[in-house]
Structure 1
Amino acid sequence: MPLGAVTLDAAGTLFEVAEPVGTTYARLAARHGITLAPAEVERGFRTALAAAPPLAFPGGSPARLADHERAWWYAVVRRTFGAAGMSSHFDACFAELFDFYARAAAWRVFADAPEALRALRARGLRVGVVSNFDTRLVGLLDQLGLAPLVDRIVHSTRAGVAKPDPAIFHLALEALGVPPAEALHAGNEVVADVEGARAAGLRAVLVDREGRLAPLPPGVPRVRTLAELVARLES
Protein backbone atom coordinates (compact mmCIF):
# COMPACT_ATOMS: atom_id res chain seq x y z
CA MET A 1 0.00 0.00 0.00
CA PRO A 2 1.54 3.37 -0.97
CA LEU A 3 2.25 5.88 1.77
CA GLY A 4 0.26 9.10 1.65
CA ALA A 5 0.83 10.68 5.06
CA VAL A 6 3.16 10.68 8.04
CA THR A 7 2.03 11.90 11.45
CA LEU A 8 4.41 12.60 14.29
CA ASP A 9 4.26 13.13 18.01
CA ALA A 10 5.41 16.53 19.29
CA ALA A 11 7.30 16.58 22.61
CA GLY A 12 10.03 13.96 22.65
CA THR A 13 9.86 13.53 18.88
CA LEU A 14 10.06 16.98 17.28
CA PHE A 15 11.23 18.97 20.30
CA GLU A 16 12.13 18.55 23.97
CA VAL A 17 12.39 20.66 27.11
CA ALA A 18 15.42 22.94 27.03
CA GLU A 19 16.44 21.80 30.51
CA PRO A 20 15.18 19.11 32.91
CA VAL A 21 11.73 19.81 34.31
CA GLY A 22 13.02 19.52 37.86
CA THR A 23 15.62 22.22 37.22
CA THR A 24 13.07 24.62 35.75
CA TYR A 25 10.49 24.02 38.46
CA ALA A 26 13.05 24.50 41.24
CA ARG A 27 14.43 27.70 39.70
CA LEU A 28 11.04 29.34 39.17
CA ALA A 29 9.73 28.14 42.54
CA ALA A 30 12.67 29.84 44.27
CA ARG A 31 11.43 33.18 42.93
CA HIS A 32 8.29 32.63 44.97
CA GLY A 33 10.07 31.58 48.14
CA ILE A 34 9.47 27.86 47.58
CA THR A 35 12.49 25.58 47.99
CA LEU A 36 12.56 22.43 45.87
CA ALA A 37 15.23 19.83 45.11
CA PRO A 38 15.47 19.43 41.31
CA ALA A 39 16.01 15.65 41.34
CA GLU A 40 13.11 15.13 43.73
CA VAL A 41 10.87 17.36 41.62
CA GLU A 42 11.84 15.46 38.48
CA ARG A 43 10.75 12.19 40.07
CA GLY A 44 7.60 13.77 41.44
CA PHE A 45 6.66 15.21 38.07
CA ARG A 46 6.94 11.84 36.33
CA THR A 47 4.86 10.21 39.06
CA ALA A 48 2.21 12.94 38.88
CA LEU A 49 2.06 12.79 35.11
CA ALA A 50 1.68 9.01 35.11
CA ALA A 51 -1.16 9.22 37.64
CA ALA A 52 -3.04 11.98 35.84
CA PRO A 53 -6.14 11.25 33.72
CA PRO A 54 -5.83 11.59 29.93
CA LEU A 55 -5.20 15.15 28.76
CA ALA A 56 -8.59 15.41 27.05
CA PHE A 57 -12.02 16.64 28.08
CA PRO A 58 -14.70 14.85 26.07
CA GLY A 59 -18.04 16.60 26.28
CA GLY A 60 -16.49 19.73 27.75
CA SER A 61 -17.52 23.14 26.50
CA PRO A 62 -15.05 24.53 23.92
CA ALA A 63 -15.51 27.92 25.56
CA ARG A 64 -14.07 26.50 28.78
CA LEU A 65 -11.25 24.50 27.23
CA ALA A 66 -8.53 26.83 28.54
CA ASP A 67 -9.97 26.51 32.06
CA HIS A 68 -9.99 22.71 31.84
CA GLU A 69 -6.40 22.65 30.58
CA ARG A 70 -5.19 24.94 33.32
CA ALA A 71 -6.99 22.92 36.01
CA TRP A 72 -5.46 19.68 34.67
CA TRP A 73 -1.95 21.10 34.86
CA TYR A 74 -2.63 22.74 38.22
CA ALA A 75 -3.37 19.32 39.70
CA VAL A 76 -0.26 17.77 38.12
CA VAL A 77 2.07 20.53 39.29
CA ARG A 78 0.57 20.65 42.78
CA ARG A 79 1.12 16.91 43.16
CA THR A 80 4.65 17.34 41.81
CA PHE A 81 5.42 19.93 44.49
CA GLY A 82 4.28 17.62 47.29
CA ALA A 83 4.06 19.43 50.63
CA ALA A 84 5.40 22.60 48.97
CA GLY A 85 2.19 22.68 46.95
CA MET A 86 0.41 23.91 50.08
CA SER A 87 2.44 27.13 50.07
CA SER A 88 0.45 30.35 49.88
CA HIS A 89 2.74 31.26 46.98
CA PHE A 90 1.94 28.15 44.95
CA ASP A 91 -0.74 29.74 42.76
CA ALA A 92 1.58 32.52 41.62
CA CYS A 93 4.37 30.01 41.00
CA PHE A 94 2.06 27.78 38.98
CA ALA A 95 0.92 30.71 36.84
CA GLU A 96 4.52 31.54 35.98
CA LEU A 97 5.33 27.91 35.15
CA PHE A 98 2.25 27.53 32.95
CA ASP A 99 3.10 30.68 31.00
CA PHE A 100 6.78 29.74 30.76
CA TYR A 101 6.05 26.47 28.95
CA ALA A 102 3.97 28.35 26.39
CA ARG A 103 7.14 30.07 25.15
CA ALA A 104 9.82 28.81 22.80
CA ALA A 105 12.52 29.50 25.40
CA ALA A 106 11.29 26.50 27.39
CA TRP A 107 11.88 24.09 24.52
CA ARG A 108 14.56 22.94 22.09
CA VAL A 109 13.86 21.63 18.59
CA PHE A 110 15.71 18.43 17.74
CA ALA A 111 18.30 19.33 15.11
CA ASP A 112 17.02 16.74 12.64
CA ALA A 113 13.33 17.70 12.89
CA PRO A 114 13.01 20.64 10.44
CA GLU A 115 14.89 18.94 7.62
CA ALA A 116 13.01 15.68 8.17
CA LEU A 117 9.67 17.47 7.88
CA ARG A 118 10.83 19.21 4.70
CA ALA A 119 12.01 15.90 3.26
CA LEU A 120 8.69 14.20 3.97
CA ARG A 121 6.74 16.93 2.23
CA ALA A 122 9.21 16.97 -0.66
CA ARG A 123 8.23 13.35 -1.26
CA GLY A 124 4.64 14.46 -1.69
CA LEU A 125 3.51 13.19 1.71
CA ARG A 126 0.95 14.93 3.87
CA VAL A 127 2.48 15.65 7.28
CA GLY A 128 0.64 16.04 10.56
CA VAL A 129 1.31 16.35 14.27
CA VAL A 130 -0.73 14.18 16.65
CA SER A 131 0.04 14.97 20.27
CA ASN A 132 -1.27 14.61 23.79
CA PHE A 133 -0.88 18.34 24.42
CA ASP A 134 -2.99 21.40 25.14
CA THR A 135 -3.76 24.49 23.09
CA ARG A 136 -0.31 25.95 23.77
CA LEU A 137 1.02 23.50 21.17
CA VAL A 138 -0.16 25.49 18.15
CA GLY A 139 1.62 28.63 19.29
CA LEU A 140 4.70 26.68 20.28
CA LEU A 141 5.07 25.02 16.89
CA ASP A 142 4.78 28.44 15.31
CA GLN A 143 7.38 29.98 17.62
CA LEU A 144 9.72 27.03 17.05
CA GLY A 145 9.45 27.37 13.28
CA LEU A 146 7.80 23.99 12.79
CA ALA A 147 4.20 25.01 12.05
CA PRO A 148 4.91 25.97 8.40
CA LEU A 149 6.44 22.52 7.86
CA VAL A 150 3.30 20.52 8.68
CA ASP A 151 -0.17 20.36 7.16
CA ARG A 152 -2.28 19.65 10.25
CA ILE A 153 -1.87 19.90 14.02
CA VAL A 154 -4.15 17.75 16.18
CA HIS A 155 -3.77 17.91 19.96
CA SER A 156 -5.71 15.94 22.51
CA THR A 157 -7.49 18.73 24.35
CA ARG A 158 -9.01 20.17 21.18
CA ALA A 159 -9.77 16.69 19.80
CA GLY A 160 -11.46 15.61 23.03
CA VAL A 161 -9.54 12.34 22.99
CA ALA A 162 -5.95 11.36 23.74
CA LYS A 163 -3.55 8.77 22.40
CA PRO A 164 -3.55 5.78 22.43
CA ASP A 165 -7.25 6.05 21.55
CA PRO A 166 -7.52 5.37 17.79
CA ALA A 167 -10.02 8.22 17.43
CA ILE A 168 -7.37 10.94 17.62
CA PHE A 169 -5.42 9.34 14.78
CA HIS A 170 -8.58 9.05 12.70
CA LEU A 171 -9.37 12.73 13.29
CA ALA A 172 -5.92 13.68 12.05
CA LEU A 173 -6.13 11.49 8.98
CA GLU A 174 -9.58 12.80 8.09
CA ALA A 175 -8.10 16.30 8.17
CA LEU A 176 -5.18 15.16 6.01
CA GLY A 177 -7.45 13.32 3.59
CA VAL A 178 -5.55 10.03 3.83
CA PRO A 179 -6.91 6.62 4.96
CA PRO A 180 -5.19 4.78 7.85
CA ALA A 181 -3.84 2.07 5.56
CA GLU A 182 -1.83 4.72 3.71
CA ALA A 183 -0.43 6.44 6.80
CA LEU A 184 2.46 6.02 9.22
CA HIS A 185 2.87 7.48 12.69
CA ALA A 186 6.20 8.08 14.43
CA GLY A 187 6.57 8.89 18.11
CA ASN A 188 8.63 8.20 21.19
CA GLU A 189 6.07 6.35 23.33
CA VAL A 190 5.36 2.64 22.86
CA VAL A 191 1.79 2.68 24.17
CA ALA A 192 0.59 6.12 23.04
CA ASP A 193 2.32 6.21 19.68
CA VAL A 194 3.08 2.68 18.52
CA GLU A 195 0.18 0.73 19.99
CA GLY A 196 -2.26 3.59 19.47
CA ALA A 197 -1.34 4.05 15.82
CA ARG A 198 -1.48 0.34 15.07
CA ALA A 199 -4.89 0.06 16.72
CA ALA A 200 -6.05 2.85 14.41
CA GLY A 201 -4.81 0.97 11.34
CA LEU A 202 -1.62 2.98 10.72
CA ARG A 203 1.90 1.72 10.39
CA ALA A 204 4.09 2.78 13.30
CA VAL A 205 7.72 3.58 14.03
CA LEU A 206 9.21 4.17 17.48
CA VAL A 207 11.52 7.18 17.69
CA ASP A 208 13.90 5.97 20.41
CA ARG A 209 16.27 8.93 20.68
CA GLU A 210 17.71 7.83 24.02
CA GLY A 211 18.19 4.20 23.04
CA ARG A 212 15.93 2.86 25.76
CA LEU A 213 15.34 -0.33 23.77
CA ALA A 214 11.80 -0.75 25.07
CA PRO A 215 10.12 -3.97 23.85
CA LEU A 216 8.13 -3.48 20.66
CA PRO A 217 5.42 -5.45 18.88
CA PRO A 218 6.83 -7.71 16.14
CA GLY A 219 7.59 -5.89 12.91
CA VAL A 220 7.65 -2.36 14.37
CA PRO A 221 10.84 -0.51 13.38
CA ARG A 222 12.87 1.56 15.82
CA VAL A 223 14.89 4.63 14.80
CA ARG A 224 17.16 6.93 16.80
CA THR A 225 16.52 10.05 14.70
CA LEU A 226 13.99 11.48 12.27
CA ALA A 227 16.74 11.51 9.65
CA GLU A 228 16.86 7.74 10.02
CA LEU A 229 13.08 7.61 9.64
CA VAL A 230 13.26 9.53 6.36
CA ALA A 231 16.07 7.28 5.13
CA ARG A 232 13.98 4.17 5.87
CA LEU A 233 11.08 5.57 3.87
CA GLU A 234 13.37 6.35 0.95
CA SER A 235 14.99 2.91 0.88
Structure 2
Amino acid sequence: MTAIRGVVFDFYGTLVRMVPPLPPDHRSIFARHGLVEAGRRWGDQWSVGPGEGEEHRAHSGSERAYTAWERDRLRSRARACGVPGDQLEELVAEVDRAMKDLHLALFDDVPGALAELRSRGVRVAVCSNWYWHLDRSLADVGLTDLIDVSVSSARVGARKPHPLIYRAVLDRLGLTPEETVFVGDVWRPDVEGPLTAGMRAVHLWRADRAVDGQAPPLVPGAARISGLAELSDLLWSASATDPARFG
Protein backbone atom coordinates (compact mmCIF):
# COMPACT_ATOMS: atom_id res chain seq x y z
CA MET A 1 0.00 0.00 0.00
CA THR A 2 1.33 3.44 -0.94
CA ALA A 3 2.65 5.49 1.98
CA ILE A 4 0.31 8.17 3.32
CA ARG A 5 1.65 11.66 2.70
CA GLY A 6 -1.54 13.71 3.06
CA VAL A 7 -4.78 13.66 5.03
CA VAL A 8 -7.79 15.72 3.93
CA PHE A 9 -10.53 16.54 6.43
CA ASP A 10 -14.09 17.63 6.00
CA PHE A 11 -14.82 20.71 8.14
CA TYR A 12 -18.27 20.83 9.75
CA GLY A 13 -19.16 17.72 11.74
CA THR A 14 -15.59 16.43 11.46
CA LEU A 15 -13.38 19.18 12.90
CA VAL A 16 -15.98 21.62 14.23
CA ARG A 17 -19.48 21.68 15.67
CA MET A 18 -22.02 24.46 16.13
CA VAL A 19 -22.31 25.95 19.61
CA PRO A 20 -24.64 28.56 21.16
CA PRO A 21 -25.74 31.12 20.39
CA LEU A 22 -27.31 29.29 17.47
CA PRO A 23 -28.47 31.12 14.32
CA PRO A 24 -32.03 32.43 14.55
CA ASP A 25 -34.74 30.37 12.94
CA HIS A 26 -35.72 31.97 9.65
CA ARG A 27 -39.35 32.13 10.78
CA SER A 28 -38.47 34.63 13.49
CA ILE A 29 -36.88 36.87 10.85
CA PHE A 30 -39.95 36.68 8.63
CA ALA A 31 -42.20 37.34 11.63
CA ARG A 32 -40.33 40.55 12.46
CA HIS A 33 -41.16 41.73 8.95
CA GLY A 34 -44.83 40.76 9.35
CA LEU A 35 -44.43 37.86 6.92
CA VAL A 36 -45.45 34.87 9.03
CA GLU A 37 -47.14 33.00 6.18
CA ALA A 38 -44.18 33.52 3.83
CA GLY A 39 -41.91 32.17 6.55
CA ARG A 40 -44.06 29.06 6.84
CA ARG A 41 -43.89 28.51 3.08
CA TRP A 42 -40.10 28.87 3.07
CA GLY A 43 -39.62 25.47 4.65
CA ASP A 44 -36.12 24.33 5.66
CA GLN A 45 -33.92 27.39 6.02
CA TRP A 46 -30.77 25.39 5.13
CA SER A 47 -32.09 23.97 1.85
CA VAL A 48 -31.49 27.03 -0.34
CA GLY A 49 -27.81 26.43 -1.14
CA PRO A 50 -26.33 24.53 -4.08
CA GLY A 51 -27.17 20.85 -4.16
CA GLU A 52 -24.78 18.09 -3.18
CA GLY A 53 -22.40 17.44 -6.07
CA GLU A 54 -23.51 20.58 -7.95
CA GLU A 55 -21.04 22.37 -10.22
CA HIS A 56 -21.25 26.18 -10.24
CA ARG A 57 -17.96 27.41 -11.67
CA ALA A 58 -19.74 30.14 -13.61
CA HIS A 59 -20.60 31.81 -10.28
CA SER A 60 -17.30 31.20 -8.48
CA GLY A 61 -14.98 33.51 -10.39
CA SER A 62 -14.91 36.08 -7.59
CA GLU A 63 -16.33 36.72 -4.14
CA ARG A 64 -18.61 39.37 -5.60
CA ALA A 65 -20.00 36.99 -8.23
CA TYR A 66 -20.52 34.19 -5.75
CA THR A 67 -22.20 36.45 -3.18
CA ALA A 68 -24.53 37.80 -5.87
CA TRP A 69 -25.46 34.24 -6.81
CA GLU A 70 -26.18 33.38 -3.17
CA ARG A 71 -28.45 36.41 -2.84
CA ASP A 72 -30.19 35.60 -6.16
CA ARG A 73 -31.13 32.14 -4.88
CA LEU A 74 -32.53 33.61 -1.66
CA ARG A 75 -34.37 36.31 -3.59
CA SER A 76 -36.03 33.75 -5.90
CA ARG A 77 -37.10 31.61 -2.95
CA ALA A 78 -38.50 34.63 -1.11
CA ARG A 79 -40.52 35.77 -4.14
CA ALA A 80 -41.95 32.27 -4.54
CA CYS A 81 -43.01 32.36 -0.88
CA GLY A 82 -44.92 35.58 -1.41
CA VAL A 83 -42.53 38.22 -0.04
CA PRO A 84 -43.54 41.63 -1.50
CA GLY A 85 -41.04 43.41 -3.71
CA ASP A 86 -40.66 46.37 -1.38
CA GLN A 87 -39.53 44.07 1.47
CA LEU A 88 -37.46 41.70 -0.59
CA GLU A 89 -33.94 43.14 -0.36
CA GLU A 90 -33.96 43.85 3.37
CA LEU A 91 -35.34 40.41 4.18
CA VAL A 92 -32.89 38.58 1.89
CA ALA A 93 -29.93 40.45 3.38
CA GLU A 94 -31.02 39.55 6.90
CA VAL A 95 -31.60 35.87 6.09
CA ASP A 96 -28.21 35.68 4.35
CA ARG A 97 -26.42 37.16 7.37
CA ALA A 98 -28.23 34.88 9.80
CA MET A 99 -27.37 31.72 7.85
CA LYS A 100 -23.67 32.59 7.96
CA ASP A 101 -23.55 33.78 11.57
CA LEU A 102 -22.36 30.42 12.85
CA HIS A 103 -20.60 30.01 16.17
CA LEU A 104 -18.23 27.08 15.84
CA ALA A 105 -15.95 25.20 18.21
CA LEU A 106 -13.41 22.44 17.68
CA PHE A 107 -14.14 18.92 18.80
CA ASP A 108 -11.79 18.14 21.67
CA ASP A 109 -9.82 15.54 19.70
CA VAL A 110 -8.93 17.83 16.79
CA PRO A 111 -5.77 19.71 17.93
CA GLY A 112 -4.00 16.55 19.05
CA ALA A 113 -4.88 14.60 15.92
CA LEU A 114 -3.72 17.35 13.57
CA ALA A 115 -0.55 17.99 15.56
CA GLU A 116 0.27 14.28 15.36
CA LEU A 117 -0.08 14.32 11.59
CA ARG A 118 2.13 17.38 11.26
CA SER A 119 4.78 15.79 13.52
CA ARG A 120 4.97 12.90 11.06
CA GLY A 121 5.53 15.26 8.14
CA VAL A 122 2.06 14.62 6.71
CA ARG A 123 0.41 17.44 4.79
CA VAL A 124 -3.01 18.38 6.17
CA ALA A 125 -5.92 19.85 4.21
CA VAL A 126 -9.53 20.85 4.76
CA CYS A 127 -12.00 20.31 1.92
CA SER A 128 -15.50 21.56 2.63
CA ASN A 129 -18.84 22.46 1.10
CA TRP A 130 -18.59 25.92 2.64
CA TYR A 131 -19.06 29.61 2.00
CA TRP A 132 -16.45 31.85 0.38
CA HIS A 133 -14.35 32.52 3.49
CA LEU A 134 -13.44 29.08 4.75
CA ASP A 135 -10.06 30.55 5.67
CA ARG A 136 -11.76 32.92 8.13
CA SER A 137 -13.71 30.09 9.71
CA LEU A 138 -10.50 28.09 10.13
CA ALA A 139 -8.83 31.10 11.76
CA ASP A 140 -11.79 31.69 14.08
CA VAL A 141 -11.41 28.21 15.59
CA GLY A 142 -7.61 28.37 15.73
CA LEU A 143 -6.75 25.94 12.94
CA THR A 144 -4.71 28.17 10.64
CA ASP A 145 -1.33 26.94 11.87
CA LEU A 146 -2.35 23.27 11.69
CA ILE A 147 -3.62 23.32 8.10
CA ASP A 148 -1.49 23.40 4.95
CA VAL A 149 -4.29 23.74 2.39
CA SER A 150 -7.96 24.69 2.51
CA VAL A 151 -10.45 24.25 -0.32
CA SER A 152 -14.05 25.45 -0.23
CA SER A 153 -16.77 24.58 -2.71
CA ALA A 154 -17.60 28.27 -3.05
CA ARG A 155 -14.18 29.09 -4.51
CA VAL A 156 -13.60 25.88 -6.48
CA GLY A 157 -17.01 25.99 -8.14
CA ALA A 158 -18.29 22.53 -7.22
CA ARG A 159 -19.61 20.80 -4.13
CA LYS A 160 -18.57 17.40 -2.87
CA PRO A 161 -18.90 14.74 -4.21
CA HIS A 162 -18.22 16.43 -7.56
CA PRO A 163 -14.77 15.23 -8.76
CA LEU A 164 -13.58 18.80 -9.38
CA ILE A 165 -13.27 19.63 -5.68
CA TYR A 166 -11.18 16.53 -4.95
CA ARG A 167 -8.88 17.28 -7.89
CA ALA A 168 -8.45 20.80 -6.55
CA VAL A 169 -7.39 19.72 -3.07
CA LEU A 170 -5.00 17.08 -4.41
CA ASP A 171 -3.44 19.59 -6.81
CA ARG A 172 -2.91 22.09 -3.99
CA LEU A 173 -1.41 19.44 -1.77
CA GLY A 174 0.84 18.29 -4.62
CA LEU A 175 -0.08 14.66 -3.94
CA THR A 176 -1.58 11.74 -5.81
CA PRO A 177 -4.87 10.16 -4.72
CA GLU A 178 -2.99 7.01 -3.69
CA GLU A 179 -0.93 9.04 -1.20
CA THR A 180 -3.96 10.67 0.36
CA VAL A 181 -6.65 9.73 2.88
CA PHE A 182 -9.94 11.62 3.22
CA VAL A 183 -11.63 11.85 6.64
CA GLY A 184 -15.22 12.97 7.10
CA ASP A 185 -18.57 12.29 8.72
CA VAL A 186 -21.00 12.24 5.77
CA TRP A 187 -21.01 9.11 3.66
CA ARG A 188 -21.51 10.30 0.09
CA PRO A 189 -19.27 13.42 0.00
CA ASP A 190 -16.65 12.17 2.47
CA VAL A 191 -16.42 8.48 1.61
CA GLU A 192 -17.96 7.62 -1.75
CA GLY A 193 -16.65 10.74 -3.49
CA PRO A 194 -13.03 10.38 -2.30
CA LEU A 195 -13.03 6.65 -3.13
CA THR A 196 -14.20 7.42 -6.65
CA ALA A 197 -11.37 9.99 -6.88
CA GLY A 198 -8.85 7.27 -5.99
CA MET A 199 -8.23 8.16 -2.34
CA ARG A 200 -8.71 5.98 0.71
CA ALA A 201 -11.46 7.15 3.05
CA VAL A 202 -12.07 7.15 6.79
CA HIS A 203 -15.68 7.50 7.89
CA LEU A 204 -15.88 9.41 11.18
CA TRP A 205 -18.92 8.22 13.13
CA ARG A 206 -18.91 10.26 16.33
CA ALA A 207 -21.20 9.47 19.24
CA ASP A 208 -22.30 13.15 19.20
CA ARG A 209 -22.51 13.32 15.41
CA ALA A 210 -24.76 15.69 13.48
CA VAL A 211 -25.68 12.91 11.03
CA ASP A 212 -28.76 10.80 11.84
CA GLY A 213 -29.43 7.18 11.05
CA GLN A 214 -27.25 4.10 10.89
CA ALA A 215 -23.69 3.95 9.61
CA PRO A 216 -23.60 2.44 6.10
CA PRO A 217 -21.71 -0.84 5.65
CA LEU A 218 -18.03 -0.30 4.90
CA VAL A 219 -16.81 -0.80 1.35
CA PRO A 220 -13.33 -1.58 -0.04
CA GLY A 221 -10.96 1.33 0.55
CA ALA A 222 -12.87 2.69 3.54
CA ALA A 223 -12.41 2.36 7.30
CA ARG A 224 -14.42 3.74 10.22
CA ILE A 225 -13.46 5.46 13.48
CA SER A 226 -15.51 6.96 16.32
CA GLY A 227 -13.08 9.81 17.05
CA LEU A 228 -9.94 11.40 15.64
CA ALA A 229 -7.84 9.99 18.50
CA GLU A 230 -8.15 6.67 16.66
CA LEU A 231 -6.78 8.02 13.38
CA SER A 232 -3.07 7.68 14.06
CA ASP A 233 -3.39 4.05 15.09
CA LEU A 234 -5.46 3.29 12.01
CA LEU A 235 -2.93 4.87 9.67
CA TRP A 236 0.38 3.88 11.27
CA SER A 237 0.03 0.83 13.48
CA ALA A 238 2.06 -2.25 12.60
CA SER A 239 -0.80 -3.59 10.46
CA ALA A 240 -1.65 -0.30 8.75
CA THR A 241 -0.14 -1.51 5.49
CA ASP A 242 -2.73 -4.28 5.39
CA PRO A 243 -5.37 -3.30 2.77
CA ALA A 244 -8.00 -5.03 4.91
CA ARG A 245 -7.81 -2.11 7.35
CA PHE A 246 -9.52 -0.07 4.65
CA GLY A 247 -12.50 -2.26 3.87
**1:159 corresponding residue in structure 2:** 156
Structure 1 residue 232: Cα displacement: 2.0
Distance 1:96 1:17, change over 3 A: farther
Structure 1 residue 113: Cα displacement: 1.8
Unmatched runs of 5 consecutive residues or more in structure 1: none
**2:234 corresponding residue in structure 1:** 232
Structure 1 residues 68-87: Cα deviation after superposition (integer angstroms, max 9, x where no partner):
34533653597499847558
Higher helix share: 1
Q: Which amino acid aligns with 1:131?
A: S
Which residues of 2 match residues 136-151 of structure 1 at below 5 A? 136-151=133-148
Q: Give the conservation status (yes or no) of the 8 Å contact 2:109–2:228.
A: yes
Which residues of 2 match residues 1-235 of structure 1 at below 5 A? 1-19=2-20, 23-26=24-27, 32=33, 35=36, 44-45=44-45, 47-48=47-48, 52=51, 54=53, 56-60=55-59, 62-63=61-62, 65-72=63-70, 75=73, 79=77, 83=81, 89=87, 91-100=89-98, 102=100, 106-209=103-206, 210=209, 212-219=213-220, 220-235=222-237
Structure 1 residue 138: Cα displacement: 1.4
Structure 1 residue 10: Cα displacement: 1.0
Structure 1 residue 26: Cα displacement: 4.6
Structure 1 residue 53: Cα displacement: 6.8
Unmatched runs of 5 consecutive residues or more in structure 2: 238-247
TM-score of the two chains, using structure 2 as the length reference: 0.75
Q: Give the conservation status (yes or no) of the 8 Å contact 2:8–2:181.
A: yes
Structure 1 residue 41: Cα displacement: 9.6
Q: How far apart, CA to CA, are the structure 2 residues paired with 1:100 and 1:22?
A: 6
Farther off after superposition, 196-205 or 23-32:
23-32
Structure 1 residues 79-134: Cα deviation after superposition (integer angstroms, max 9, x where no partner):
4998475585453344234335555x622222222222112111211000111112
Q: Which amino acid aligns with 1:99?
A: R
Structure 1 residues 153-206: Cα deviation after superposition (integer angstroms, max 9, x where no partner):
011121122211223212211211211101000111111111110011000011
Distance 1:87 1:44, change over 3 A: farther
Q: How far apart, CA to CA, are the structure 2 residues paired with 1:191 and 1:163?
A: 8
Rg larger in 1 or in 2?
A: 2
TM-score of the two chains, using structure 1 as the length reference: 0.79
Residue aligned with 2:181, SS: strand
Q: Give the conservation status (yes or no) of the 8 Å contact 1:56–1:157.
A: no
Residue aligned with 1:118, SS: helix
Q: Which amino acid aligns with 1:92?
A: E
| Identity percentage of aligned residues | 29
Q: Give the conservation status (yes or no) of the 8 Å contact 1:69–1:157.
A: no
